Amino acid sequence: MSYTNNISYIKETLLVPRFYKTDLKALPQLNLKDFTLEFNSLLKEHRNDYNKYHFIYNPTATSLLKNNPMFIAFLLRSCLAEFSGFLLYSEISKNTRLITNKLLKKLFQVLARDEARHAGIINTYLNECNLNFNLGKLTKTRPYTYFLPRYVYYSVFLSEKIGYWRYITIYRFLNSFPKYLKHPIFNYFASWCQDENRHGDFFSLILKSHHHLLTGPLARLWTRFFLLVVFLTMITNDKEREEFFKVLGLDAFIYDLEVITHTNLVASKLFPVRLNLSSPLFLKTLTQFVNTFKNLKALSQKNPTSRVLFLRTLLKCILLSSKLFLLEPIGRQKSLFKELYI
């Protein structure tokens, strides 16, 4: 299938994920001394490079999806997400003037190495779909979003851990039901997800080495906020791609619930709070939000659209997301009122 035949999917897909940059001057303040042994152990594990020969293109593998626009959109989004990680980690590791800690520099280098491999193998399969995706050119034409370092630590930790559960859940399902295995890219997921897990462990150590990011009322609010934002972003994105998941034999919403349940539990070992996903009220409100957000997206694409209806739907989305945030999480004693006014 040609590029022009997929142009609507590609334009929509290129809106997200974004490229990120952060305050490099703040990075030398990272205090690793209390966890030096753990960081060295993690560096040793990365240097073992278990997946060095894993991401090799197999031209003889059968693909039943290379002409499927929904699958191409999936590849594009995945490629951009991996390349975005490569750019962020690479930029940090190359700033030798700022990053004087050799251990930290080496760890960011191996993280960048892994992300480059991931983006590279996806881009190879995009070429198989007759798409010449110039990643280098994107670095000059695509806008960057600025994130404070603490936001990077929270969001990237969650993104890497949620990536692990997304990949391993798909791999396990396709391994159990091989009739849905319609492209060789999914064969990489078993080892791929281990890279994601190790990356998450790295950011877990960074957060642990900065005690204030995990303790106190502000930390409880921020971790709760990022848990909810990352989960809602994933679920609303997947809601728009339900047909693609059906091709894989998956129900997008059930799949997402399984992923966020595992991620929520893993994050609770680090974060001071855990979202109460088992609450019937949480699930009911989540379902309402996802459906309302889908309506909002549809309204935004109508031309002309009713401004009143759009604003009403937007307000409903804001109210529902606020309700989700205000629902009592697990793992803390103080009320939200006390947290806000301590």
C-alpha 65/C-alpha 185 separation (Å) is 10
Whole-number pLDDT of residue 262: 97
Rounded to the nearest integer, the mean pLDDT of the chain is: 84
pLDDT band at 4 (very low <50, low <70, confident <90, very high): very low
Residue 305 φ/ψ, nearest 5 degrees: -120, 155
Residue 304 φ/ψ, nearest 5 degrees: -85, 165
Whole-number pLDDT of residue 127: 85
223, pLDDT greater than 90: yes
Higher per-residue pLDDT: 71 or 259: 259
The residue extents of the domains of the chain are: 1-155, 214-342
Q: What angle do CA 46, 49, 52 make, to 5 degrees?
A: 145
Contact (Cβ atoms closer than 8 angstroms) between residue 35 and residue 208 = yes
pLDDT band at 151 (very low <50, low <70, confident <90, very high): confident
pTM: 0.86
Please report, rounded to a whole number, the percentage of residues in the chain having pLDDT higher than 90. Answer: 46
Whole-number pLDDT of residue 19: 76
3-state secondary structure of 147: strand
